Amino acid sequence: MSTTDDRFAQDYQSLRRDPSQNRYNEVVTGPVSDWATDFSHLEPEWAEGAIGVWDDLRGRCPIAHTERFGGAWLPTRYEDVAAIAHDTEHFSSRAIIVSNFRPPLDLAPVGEVPPISSDPPFHHDARKLLLPAFTRSAVGRQEEATRAFCHGLIDGFAGRDVVDAAHEYAQHIPMRVIADMLGFPQEDGPRFRVFVENALEGINLPPEERLERAAELFDYLFAQIRDHVAHPREDLTSYLIEAELYGQKLEPIHVAGTIALLLIAGIDTTWSAIGSSLWHLAGHPEDRRRLAADPGLLSTAMEEFLRAYAPVTMARLVKQDMTWRGAEMKADDWVLLSFPAANRDPDHVDRADEVVIDREVNKHAAFGLGIHRCVGSHLARMELRIALEVWLERIPEFSLADPGGVSWSTGQIRGPRTLPLRIG
Amino acid sequence: MRVQLDLVPDLFGEDEDGYGTVPGDGSVPVGREDDARRAQANCPEDAVVLEVSR
């Protein structure tokens, strides 16, 4: 007989960190004066033209700086991004989304959303807990349901000439897959979207509002967790509730933090990758026709879309004042690890600015590098592959209905948020 | 590191944590040499090492 699990009996508010421990800086918004000295990934110019910004900076800088966010750096060469991603001695993952406050030092090595926010040695053990759920074979079990779901979305387009592929297709696929894996209600998709936007795009909101919105996510997660404690199931939430580390069940805040990570990271990233791939194909009829005619090309094409339109940039915090490859970095400065910029570095990739859908050698960093490399890469690849396969099979002819009406996200996850496509 | 198993299916195995494994004694099956080279050329962490035996 097991005793009652009362770890989640308290509400999140009572477990939450005292916000006065954070170190806050002034929120600076408005147009960028010079991308090398005043960059911001939260302004509309970035959403429209990030690729051009990286190419420009790589040629002249190559590590940009900004006083915004209390001080942040943006390396743009593959070599620099890779070096920082592999260097956990000088760079911490205590927080991985640039914001206008830093959590206290003693939050390391666990962080708020382990294991992405964890540093060694804790990171290794927290990550290991998740691995079995994301193996290629585990992910393969989601494939048929994902395919059926994609078909269902396209069935819903019957009779329409124009659809928003970002809103009505791309975003729903990872939401459904992660809801099923976590055992959350499928109809909560619209709430997930709000949680994702709050976590990743609401960076320049007043900090107290940001913290309030994060609390709403955790209140929701605690309610779901309690429901799983009362009614255990064969899903990832029940697995994490029962999981043990160092002979003990996880701290309640660790369980909720990891679930928050899986929910947020599982949705926005893949949604963006599917959207960018469809955007590319809609605007490049020669690639679209080739791929529709020869689905065998999808494995290389997909990797090329991941390289050229990598959705994810992760952040680190500088541990101590230091000069790093000429940059005078201060303790607690942010560093944006722009995997998308690294993937377009001509010193790393031939024809870096071209999308070559049959590229044979493609050492891209879309899933990150080093110990924090994406734990869900097999899942993301499965979703992207199925989403594109089903779309191309059902809608081989499509184009941009309104090129000016396409909008891209700001912040660390890059992808189309409005994508009107002509399908009929 | 995890290898990109989709690129060259069945050339690598997978352990319970999803890390790539090399089946048997690690010899590349006859006829799969190009796939092995592709895996090596595409590994972002350079974790795939090929040795040529004579």
Residue-wise pLDDT for A104-115, tens only, equals 999 999 999 999
Give B28→chain A minimum CA distance, Å: 19
User: Are B41 and A363 an interchain contact pair (Cβ–Cβ within 8 Å)?
Assistant: yes
Residues paired with A163 in a beta bridge: A421
Peptide bond connecting A115 to the previous residue in cis, omega within 30 degrees of 0:
yes
Spell out where chain B has E strands.
Answer: 13-14, 20-21
pLDDT of residue A12: 87
pLDDT tens, position by position, A239-263: 999 999 999 999 999 999 999 999 9
Kindly provide the ipTM of the predicted complex, given to two decimals: 0.84
pLDDT of residue A364: 96
Predicted local distance difference test score (pLDDT) of residue B11: 86
With contact defined as beta carbons under 8 Å apart, do A175 and A193 qualify?
A: yes
In three-state secondary structure terms, A145 is: helix
Q: Which of B2, B42, B45 sits opposite A362 (nearest CB)?
A: B42
- A119 and A92 Cβ atoms separated by less than 8 Å: yes
Beta strand A72-75 with A334-338: parallel, antiparallel or unpaired?
parallel
Contacts of A419 by beta carbon, 8 Å cutoff, 6+ apart: A164, A165, A166, A167, A170, A275, A278, A279, A282, A406
Q: Is A360 at the interface with chain B, CB within 8 A?
A: yes
Residue A22, number of CB atoms within 10 A of its CB: 17
Over chain A, what is the mean pLDDT? 96
pLDDT in tens, B3-29: 555 667 778 888 888 888 888 888 888
Site of tokens 């092995």: B36
| Amino acid B8: pLDDT | 75
pLDDT at position A5 over 90: no
Predicted local confidence at residue A25, as pLDDT = 96
The answer to whether A136 faces chain B, any CB pair under 8 Å, is yes
Length of chain A, in residues: 424
CA proximity to A61, closest of A33, A88, A37:
A37
The answer to whether A182 and A267 have CB atoms below 8 angstroms apart is: no
CB contact A325 to B (< 8 Å)? no
Q: Does A131 touch chain B (CB under 8 A)?
A: yes
In chain A, residues 329-348 whose CB comes closer than 8 Å to chain B: none
Interval A169-225: pLDDT, tens: 999 999 999 999 999 999 999 999 999 999 998 899 999 999 999 999 999 999 999
Nearest CB among B4, B6, B17 relative to A131 is that of B17
Name every chain B residue with its beta carbon within 8 A of the beta carbon of A140: none
Q: Which residues of B touch A385 (CB under 8 A)?
A: 6
Q: Which residues pair with A155 in a beta bridge?
A: none
Q: Which helix (H) or strand (E) holds A163?
A: strand A162-164
pLDDT, residue B6, reads 64
* Half-sphere exposure in the Cβ direction for B40 (13 Å, CA): 10
Q: Is B16 on the interface with A (CB under 8 A)?
A: yes
Helix axes A377-394, A172-182, angle to 10 degrees: 130
pLDDT digits (tens, 9 = 90+) for A262-309: 999 999 999 999 999 999 999 999 999 999 999 999 999 999 999 999
Instruction: Summarize pLDDT for A60-106 with one digit per residue, the tens.
Output: 989 999 999 999 999 999 999 999 999 999 999 999 999 999 999 99
Confirm if A277 and A388 have CB atoms less than 8 A apart. yes
Round to the nearest angstrom and report the end-to-end CA distance of chain A: 61
A132 in contact with chain B, both atoms CB, cutoff 8 A: yes
pLDDT at B1: 42
Inter-chain residue contact B18 with A134, CB threshold 8 Å: yes
Cβ atoms A335, A84 nearer than 8 A: yes
DSSP string, A67-84: SGGGSEEEE-SHHHHHHH
Token pair listed for A404 = 């000016």
* Nearest CB neighbour to B7, from listed A135, A299, A377: A299
Q: Please name the amino acid found at residue A121.
A: P
Hey, is the C-beta of A383 within 8 angstroms of any chain B C-beta?
no
Nearest residue in A to B43, CA atom: A363
Please check whether residue A111 is in contact with residue A117, taking contact to mean a CB–CB distance below 8 angstroms: yes
Residue among B4, B14, B17 whose CB faces A128 most closely:
B17
The pTM (predicted TM-score) of the whole model is 0.95
